[in-house]
Structure 1
Amino acid sequence: MNASKPTPDNMAVVSVKNLSFTYPHSSQKVLNSLNLNIYRGEIFGLLGPSGCGKSTTQKILMGLLRGFSGSADVFSQPIANISRQFYQNIGVCFELPALYLRLSALENLALFASLYSGPTLNPHQVLEMVGLRDVANQRVANFSKGMKMRLNLCRALIHDPKLLFLDEPTTGQDPARARKTHKLLTHLKDQGKTIFLTTHNMAEADQICDRVGFLFNGEIPVTGTPNELKFSYGKHQVELIANSENGVVSSRFPMENLGENQKFLKAIKQSDIRSIHTLEASLEDVFIRVTNSAKQSEKPDGNGGNKS
């Protein structure tokens, strides 16, 4: 699922340099010299706990927040200079659905489609994408939270945008429905769309994101593909779990020269093996290590200064 690293030939759809932002009447920076590139045709996940600045970052890139410092370009255009045409090319799906409850799903999409000057998709087909076609004529007030979120995604897709901003896109969805949403997002990526999603769901990001970045203290200290990060921050070992006379036993072996490790070769020949797996980290493990490392670097040294 995870794509290879972007190359310099890839077009950066989103380019952020030294982005800083503080909300009015606050002394605490939400974003602090943040740097970020998102490339055409990839799913990029910005990960972090609630309140860390993920949604703030997206709102700046949508042109909804001003008063920032640094540069933020979308489609090679400074976000401070965007025109109405900009909104023809982006789709937005907020965590809290913005829908008209007294209207049906179909009427909602017809209304939102009328706001765009360019061509729009067939609303029945868009509802089909998220499994809502059978309830197209039902009032949204009767929808569950998960159904509203799916209709909210339809709203973001109705004008066939090039770039999607998704904030917690599977909120309120059960695992089976969330998996279908993941497949839809992957399909949209395969069509050439760029997707910037924010989430605190590390497992979801691991499944669908080509690259991820961890937002902490207003910065993104680490980015990479999920597999790269899990390998880099994990233990380079293989764990073998087998049945024995004394019950289930576990043995660990270094990955280096594993094929020549006589103890490992003997174990796989003679053991009643239950499983063999590498001890890679999860994205949650990576996030904890990255944030702990950042916290340690901020601790004052013995002279009252900060560690370099």
Structure 2
Amino acid sequence: MIHVTNLKKTFGNEHALKGIDFEVGKGEVFGLLGPSGSGKTTTIKLLTGEFKPDGGDIEVNGTGSRHFGRTSYVRNLGILSDKSSLYERLTVKDNLELFRKLYGAPKKVVDEVLDKVGLADEKDKRVSKLSKGMKQRVLLCKAVLHKPDVMFLDEPTSALDPTTTEKIHEMLEDLKEEGTTIMLTTHNMDEATRLCGRVAFLHEGVIKETGAPEVLRHKYKRNEVHLTYEDGGVRTVGRDQENGGLLKEALFDDSVIDIRTDFPTLGEVFKKVTGKELV
């Protein structure tokens, strides 16, 4: 559904993207991960036609970047970005009714999407009276009303409370099951681990690593075992024949309260690959 080859973008003397390549299959959730300034938002804006590339090729749902301005292309996209907005003076339902009519979606879909994000009881409230988290949920509803083939989500849960984040994650998982292709940018590694079938680490305009979250975590783990004792002490030993006796004893040692192998988080893997923290 998405093919990107040697994609480049510059702003003056700044090389935001230095030639990146990736593909996203139908019904896949693909995460573009990296800290602020790594090129994530620039990539989304290129794929949605807001920016024009300075080099490389892009194809989304069978359409090349030269035709991204066509209505037929835009109507099959769902977009949630930092520029997504609502009409503050209208109610939640009136906002969604307006966009439903623009996309030609069936009338029942407004109540369906509001129910999915837990806002059915807020549909008659003015948008100006909503919290930031509620507005973000309405924006997501707006992006999925017409059941797009492809969705682009730029930091969909940034700065939201855990309850709102959970609702959005559940909705995205439902969309994935229905076959929607989703590309999201995030610096939230827990979010990426839960939602994404594959991720790409973007750092300083270059993709440093790509793969399934669990595969990457296994790839960069160390062959170590961490023993935690009841006094709070932690001992790390290599998982090898030399320490076999010690590890066997630890299994039956009542003072050992936790035994686990090294299994880095996705954030720790990112740091290993790039040498940088995700901030």
Is the TM-score greater than 0.5?
yes
Asked whether the 8 Å contact 1:239–1:276 carries over to 2, the reply is yes
Aligned to 2:264: 281
Gaps of 5+ in 2: none
Cα distance in 1 between the residues matched to 2:53 and 2:175: 33
Asked whether the 8 Å contact 2:169–2:195 carries over to 1, the reply is yes
Residue 78 to residue 96, structure 1, CA distance change in 2 (3 Å): closer
Which amino acid counterpart does residue 261 of structure 2 have in structure 1?
A: T
Aligned to 2:27: 41
Cα distance in 2 between the residues matched to 1:76 and 1:196: 16
Gaps of 5+ in 1: 1-12, 294-308
Asked whether the 8 Å contact 1:236–1:280 carries over to 2, the reply is no
Aligned to 1:251: 235
Residue 151 of structure 1: which of 138, 154, 163 is its match? Answer: 138
Cα distance in 2 between the residues matched to 1:199 and 1:255: 34
Aligned to 2:10: 22
Q: Percent of counterpart pairs with the same letter? A: 37
How far is the alpha carbon of 1:120 from its aligned partner? 6.6
CA offsets 1:66-99 (integer angstroms, 9 cap, x no match): 1431100111321212431112221001135411
Aligned length: 275
Which amino acid counterpart does residue 207 of structure 1 have in structure 2?
A: R
Cα distance in 1 between the residues matched to 2:233 and 2:216: 29
Which amino acid counterpart does residue 62 of structure 2 have in structure 1?
A: S
Cα distance in 2 between the residues matched to 1:176 and 1:270: 40
Residue 156 to residue 182, structure 1, CA distance change in 2 (3 Å): same
Residue 161 of structure 2: which of 174, 197, 220 is its match? Answer: 174
TM-score (norm 1): 0.83
Aligned to 2:118: 131
Cα distance in 2 between the residues matched to 1:256 and 1:71: 48
Please state whether the residue corresponding to 1:49 is helix, strand or coil.
Answer: coil
Cα distance in 2 between the residues matched to 1:44 and 1:194: 8
TM-score (norm 2): 0.91
How far is the alpha carbon of 1:43 from its aligned partner? 1.2
How far is the alpha carbon of 1:160 from its aligned partner? 0.8
Q: Which structure 2 residues correspond to residues 82-97 of structure 1 after superposition, within 5 A?
A: 82=68, 83-97=70-84
How far is the alpha carbon of 1:262 from its aligned partner? 2.3
Alignment RMSD: 2.0
Which amino acid counterpart does residue 242 of structure 1 have in structure 2?
A: Y
Aligned to 1:225: 212
Q: Which moved more, 1:88-97 or 1:284-293?
A: 284-293
